[in-house]
Amino acid sequence: MDFFTILAQTAGTSEETAAKSTVVPVDLIWQHITNLDILEALTFVSFGAVCLFYGWRVFKALTIICFAILGLIAGLLISNKMGTPDNPLLGIILSIVAGIVAIPLMRWAVGILGAIAGGIATAGLWYAAKLPEQYLWAGGITGVVAGGMISFIVFKIAVMLFSSMGGSALLVSGLVALLYRYSETSDRIQELFFGPKWFIPAVMIIPTLFGLYWQNRFIKKSPQWTV
Which of 177, 188, 223, 196 minimizes the C-alpha distance to 33?
Answer: 177
Residue 121 forms part of a structural domain = yes
Which residue range(s) make up the domain with 182?
A: 25-57+106-217
Instruction: Answer whether residue 226 is part of any domain.
Output: no
Q: Give a yes or no: residue 70 inside a domain.
A: no
The structural domain count of the chain equals 1
Neighbours of 133 (CB within 10 A): 19
pTM: 0.80
Asked if residue 164 is part of any domain, the answer here is yes
Residue 177 lies in a domain: yes
Tens-binned pLDDT, residue by residue, of the chain (227 aa): 443 343 334 444 434 444 445 677 888 889 989 898 899 999 999 999 999 998 888 889 999 999 999 998 888 888 888 877 777 888 889 899 999 999 999 889 998 999 999 999 999 998 888 888 888 888 889 889 888 888 888 888 889 999 999 999 999 999 999 988 887 788 888 888 888 889 999 999 999 999 999 998 888 877 666 55
